[in-house]
Amino acid sequence: MSSKTTNANKALWEKGDFTRIAQSMRDSGEALVSGLALTPGLRVLDVGCGDGTTAVPAAQLGAEVLGVDIASNLVAAGNARARKLGLDNLSFQEGDASDLHELDDEQFDLVVSIFGAMFAPRPFDVAKELVRVTRPGGRIVMGNWIPGDPTLVAQILRISSAYSPAPPDGFVSPMTWGVEDNVVERFSTAGVPRESIAFQRDTYTFNYPGSPSELLSEFRTYYGPTMNAFEAASADGREAELQAALDALFNEQNTSDTATSIPATFLRVTVQR
């Protein structure tokens, strides 16, 4: 008999195939990284890196990049991309943002986590770990979706939650990382003074060659949180209702006449260590 306990956080992200969604985020990943003033040899950690939407462009700019992600399929996809692109300054390994025990203290000049660490459990441990592995004088840059924001991802998660079972006791919503007071409290507890934390509203644009409804179909088939919402909705006979709500959302938010381009607002957090 197996005594292995299921890690729901890991299972959620290994479900489906986030690389399919990441395809629509590459342009914004590159744009974000190009604004980080990376220099060759800079030691960069990308936490919750997926298959490398930000890790790959960081390595292409000459940084020494390690991507850490809880999902083994995304780590494998990231390593395959690094090999294919001939980037020997980029590697990916499995790890949990709440407990980066395999990484030494103060090892990185820059720690990036774009819509990654926000999904890990135990946010105070996440802040502590991100601070611990950053060298004094280094930076942490997080991208976090904002609760109640009217743009795409916050709305997908809001609509989906209405169809999903109540989360277990003690569950802290990832969206709390999009609230400045929470971010300050978490990093302050990890020893960072308030004046070392800066906030900015920024935009990620989802670009997809097909229609908005086809992009929704990618989310429905490959994005763990949306897959779970559809499973729960289907068990309640509300699948068509969820489909209609999300289809309206994707189409309303599209700004392209010929394909799909949907801008989504996020909270960019910069911590000076």
Ligand X SMILES: C[S@@+](CC[C@H](N)C(=O)[O-])C[C@H]1O[C@@H](n2cnc3c(N)ncnc32)[C@H](O)[C@@H]1O
Give me the residues that bind ligand X (CB under 6 A), please. 9, 13, 18, 22, 25, 29, 47-50, 53-54, 69-71, 74, 96-98, 114-116, 119-120
Minimum CB separation from ligand X for residue 116, in Å?
4
| Spatial contact of 241 and 230, defined as CB atoms under 8 Å apart | no
Q: How far apart are CA 8 and CA 252, in angstroms?
A: 32
Q: How far apart are CA 119 and CA 138, in angstroms?
A: 23
- Residues 6 or more apart in contact with residue 140 via CB below 8 angstroms: 110, 111, 112, 113, 130, 131, 134, 269, 270, 271, 273
Nearest to 273 by CA among 187, 184, 181: 187
Minimum CB separation from ligand X for residue 38, in Å?
16
Minimum CB separation from ligand X for residue 190, in Å?
16
Map tokens 């940084």 to a residue.
63
Q: Which amino acid is at 217?
A: S
Q: How far apart are CA 168 and CA 242, in angstroms?
A: 22
Question: Which of residues 192 and 264 has its CB atom nearest to ligand X in the complex?
Answer: 264
Question: Which of residues 13 and 230 has its CB atom nearest to ligand X in the complex?
Answer: 13
Question: Which of residues 49 and 103 has its CB atom nearest to ligand X in the complex?
Answer: 49
Question: Which of residues 8 and 240 has its CB atom nearest to ligand X in the complex?
Answer: 8
Question: Which of residues 114 and 192 has its CB atom nearest to ligand X in the complex?
Answer: 114
Minimum CB separation from ligand X for residue 225, in Å?
9
Minimum CB separation from ligand X for residue 19, in Å?
9
Question: Which of residues 70 and 146 has its CB atom nearest to ligand X in the complex?
Answer: 70
Note the residue count of the chain.
Answer: 273
Q: How far apart are CA 141 and CA 273, in angstroms?
A: 11
Q: How far apart are CA 112 and CA 265, in angstroms?
A: 18
Minimum CB separation from ligand X for residue 37, in Å?
19
Question: Which of residues 60 and 196 has its CB atom nearest to ligand X in the complex?
Answer: 60
Minimum CB separation from ligand X for residue 82, in Å?
15
Q: How far apart are CA 265 and CA 154, in angstroms?
A: 9
Q: How far apart are CA 231 and CA 66, in angstroms?
A: 34
